[in-house]
């Protein structure tokens, strides 16, 4: 017997030729008893014990306190890569628009919600850094699926996905965002999650 | 006068009227408190806040709820029986208030030279009075369910009928042990008899059976098969709306308070304080209300914890577990009472 490994429970040596194997659960096996315990007293005790366990579980939730975020007042912080409402960008030094009206974003858009009409820059009216600029740039946010392909398609990082997700409105036409609305510094209404949070 | 004195009517008529008004008013005020307490506590038990928008900490929520219900249209299904449909919630609320009258909130007090008992009536048949009105309360549910002319209401009412009849037996038997030990049926007498030790200790099984049967009698979780929202869309009160639904709701919570009050009186020593403390008389109602709120908390706690029983489980538990336990408790108590006297 001494040469047996300690992990294996020694089976009881039976005198009979037919070996009776008893189920010996190992340490990592959790025993789950599904049927009522035999006997009136034991089953009654089990019912009582399990009820008490349930009561303890619910009372522990009271001690723990609520986990609710009170939404309009408290907001769940979004991750930095969260894809919310789009933003159009300008060069910080010159103030010129980054968008050159190439329509690559509109081509990449699977929901077909971006409309770009390009126009030539002139020396008197210089809007963007490139040859052309977007005379009309509209995103229909009621169609947008927030996939972020426009952001990927843009060769000048002119359009990025912001963090704003509170976009409900009373009228569908109000959800068509124009270039001015997308360029304007948005009201940062959404808290950003910190590193590692 | 002599006959009335025998049944405890020794107070002048005007004190009776004042007491009736005061107790009804207190009962009315307690129901919204239980309502908001239940909703807040259920929230906490489930890791959320519960109502917190109306008033400070949501305290005005029951007011808003009741106002909403009372300003709603009175309607009834075309298949309903109009007269009974209007009567059924009344029966429910009437029996609940009537049962509330016998809960003693304190001993007989000397208020400005007048002897006033801090209870509605000290009936000499206390528990019988309670069960009599409990039996009538079942008509409120039964008539409401039947007169709605809806199958869900009817199913709920039938379940309610079977459940109330089954559990009333165990509830009654659970009290017999106490009555034998105290030697009186008067609820104030039972409280006085608990001077030495509250009956929750010697009658522990009676206490458990009474409480569990009380959950069933008030149609509360885990015995809320009468309402079973998931399968019966609200049970007997499916077709009720507005003020009539409010009446049912009110009666339900008043019944919870009645069971809490009776449990307090019969098992937790009523207005008596533990450790031999004898406070002045005006503390008595506070002690009773504190004990009642403990029992009510237990009701809410159990509702937050236990899932609803299946119908066959309900029946087998009532008849095969609770009734034998109550009977055994009664028998053992009887033997002990005879042996010790």
Residue of chain A whose Cα is closest to the Cα of B321: A44
| SS3 (DSSP) at A119 | strand
pLDDT band at B186 (very low <50, low <70, confident <90, very high): confident
What's the confidence (pLDDT) of residue B297?
92
Work out the average pLDDT over B121-146.
84
What residues of A are in contact with residue B313 (Cβ under 8 Å)? none
Flag if A54 and B306 touch (Cβ within 8 Å).
yes
Flag if A66 and B44 touch (Cβ within 8 Å).
yes
Q: What is the mean pLDDT of chain B?
A: 84
What residues of B are in contact with residue A70 (Cβ under 8 Å)? 49
Q: pTM to 2 decimals?
A: 0.77
Work out the average pLDDT over A157-167.
88
pLDDT band at A146 (very low <50, low <70, confident <90, very high): very high
- Could you give the ipTM of this predicted complex? 0.73
pLDDT band at B296 (very low <50, low <70, confident <90, very high): very high
Least CB–CB distance from B47: residue in A55, A59, A67: A67
Work out the average pLDDT over A185-193.
75
What's the confidence (pLDDT) of residue A34?
64
Kindly report the three-state secondary structure assignment for every residue of B173-232.
HHHHHHHHHHCCCCHHHHHHHCCCCCCCCCCHHHHHHHHHHHHHHCCCCCCHHHCCHHHH
Flag if A59 and B44 touch (Cβ within 8 Å).
no
Which residue's structure tokens are 């030697």?
B183
Residue B298 sits at the chain A interface (C-beta within 8 Å): no
What's the confidence (pLDDT) of residue B103?
86
DSSP string, B316-329: HIIIIIIHHHHHHH
| SS3 (DSSP) at A115 | strand
* CA distance linking residue B295 with residue B291, whole number of Å: 7
Q: Is the pLDDT of residue A73 over 90?
A: no
What's the confidence (pLDDT) of residue A150?
92
Burial A23-36, CB ≥16 within 10 A → b, else e: eeeeeeeeeeeeee
Q: What is the pLDDT of residues B258-272, one digit of tens each?
A: 999 999 988 888 888
DSSP string, B280-296: -GGGHHHHHHHHHHHHH
What's the confidence (pLDDT) of residue A104?
92
What's the confidence (pLDDT) of residue A2?
46
Q: Is the pLDDT of residue A71 over 80?
A: yes
Q: Is the pLDDT of residue A149 over 90?
A: yes
* CA distance linking residue A172 with residue B265, whole number of Å: 64
What's the confidence (pLDDT) of residue A10?
52
Which residue's structure tokens are 């001690």?
A63
Residue B68 sits at the chain A interface (C-beta within 8 Å): no
Q: What is the pLDDT of residues B100-116, one digit of tens each?
A: 888 888 777 766 666 67
Flag if B44 and A61 touch (Cβ within 8 Å).
yes
Angstroms from A24 CA to nearest CA on chain B: 33
Count, residues in chain B: 341
What residues of B are in contact with residue A74 (Cβ under 8 Å)? none
- Cα distances (Å, whole numbers) of residue A144 to A36, A111, A112, A114, B171: 56, 6, 8, 8, 63
Q: Is the pLDDT of residue A1 over 60?
A: no
Work out the average pLDDT over B5-19.
68
C-alpha angle B13-B187-B103 in degrees, rounded to nearest 5: 65
Q: Is the pLDDT of residue B247 over 80?
A: yes
What's the confidence (pLDDT) of residue A147?
92
| Cβ B326 vs Cβ B246: under 8 Å | no
Which residue's structure tokens are 């429970």?
A9
Q: Is the pLDDT of residue A110 over 90?
A: yes
What sign for the dihedral angle of Cα B19, B25, B29, B30? positive
Q: What is the mean pLDDT of chain A?
A: 82
């Amino acid at each position: 017997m001494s040469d047996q490994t300690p992990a294996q429970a020694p089976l009881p040596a039976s005198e009979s030729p037919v070996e009776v194997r008893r189920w010996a659960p190992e340490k990592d096996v959790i025993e789950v008893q599904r049927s009522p315990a035999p006997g009136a007293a034991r089953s009654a005790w089990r019912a009582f014990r399990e009820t008490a366990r349930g009561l303890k579980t619910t009372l522990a939730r009271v001690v723990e306190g609520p986990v609710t975020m009170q939404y309009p007042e408290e907001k769940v912080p979004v991750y930095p890569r969260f894809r919310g409402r789009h933003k159009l960008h300008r060069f910080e030094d010159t103030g010129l628009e980054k968008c050159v009206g190439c329509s690559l974003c509109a081509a990449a858009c699977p929901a077909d919600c971006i409309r770009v009409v390009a126009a030539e820059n002139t020396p008197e009216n210089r809007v963007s850094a490139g040859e052309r600029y977007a005379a009309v740039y509209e995103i229909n946010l009621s169609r947008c699926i927030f996939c972020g392909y426009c952001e990927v398609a843009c060769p000048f990082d002119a359009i990025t996905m912001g963090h704003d997700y509170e976009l409900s409105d009373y009228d569908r036409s109000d959800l068509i965002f124009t270039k001015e609305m997308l360029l304007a510094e948005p009201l940062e209404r959404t808290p950003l999650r910190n590193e590692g949070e | 006068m002599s006959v009335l004195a025998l049944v405890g009517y020794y107070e002048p008529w005007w004190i009776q009227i004042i007491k009736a008004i005061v107790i009804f008013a207190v009962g009315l005020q307690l129901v919204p408190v239980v309502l908001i307490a239940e909703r807040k506590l259920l929230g906490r038990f489930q890791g959320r806040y519960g109502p917190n928008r109306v008033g400070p900490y949501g305290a005005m929520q029951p007011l808003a709820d009741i106002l909403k219900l009372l300003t709603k249209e009175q309607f009834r299904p075309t298949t309903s029986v109009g007269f009974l449909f209007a009567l059924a919630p009344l029966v429910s609320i009437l029996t609940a208030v009537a049962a509330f009258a016998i809960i003693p909130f304190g001993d007989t007090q000397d208020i400005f030279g007048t002897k006033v008992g801090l209870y509605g009536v000290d009936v000499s048949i206390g528990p019988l009075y309670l069960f009599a009105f409990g039996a009538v309360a079942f008509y409120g549910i039964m008539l409401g369910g039947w007169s709605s002319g809806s199958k869900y209401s009817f199913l709920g009412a039938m379940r309610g009928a079977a459940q109330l009849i089954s559990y009333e037996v165990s509830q009654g038997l659970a009290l017999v042990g106490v009555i034998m030990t105290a030697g009186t049926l008067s609820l104030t007498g039972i409280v006085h008899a608990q001077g030495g030790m509250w009956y929750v200790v010697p009658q522990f099984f009676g206490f458990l059976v009474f409480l569990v049967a009380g959950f069933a009698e008030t149609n509360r979780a885990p015995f809320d098969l009468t309402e079973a929202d998931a399968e019966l869309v609200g049970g007997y009160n499916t077709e009720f709306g507005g003020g009539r639904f409010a009446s049912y709701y009110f009666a339900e919570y008043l019944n919870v308070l009645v069971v809490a009050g009776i449990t307090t009186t019969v098992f937790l020593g009523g207005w008596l304080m533990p450790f031999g403390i004898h406070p002045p008389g005006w503390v008595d109602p506070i002690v009773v209300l504190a004990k009642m709120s403990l029992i009510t908390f237990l009701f809410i706690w159990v509702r937050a914890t236990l899932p609803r029983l299946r119908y066959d489980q309900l029946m087998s538990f009532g008849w095969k577990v609770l009734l034998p336990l109550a009977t055994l408790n009664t028998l053992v108590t009887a033997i002990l009472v005879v042996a010790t006297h």
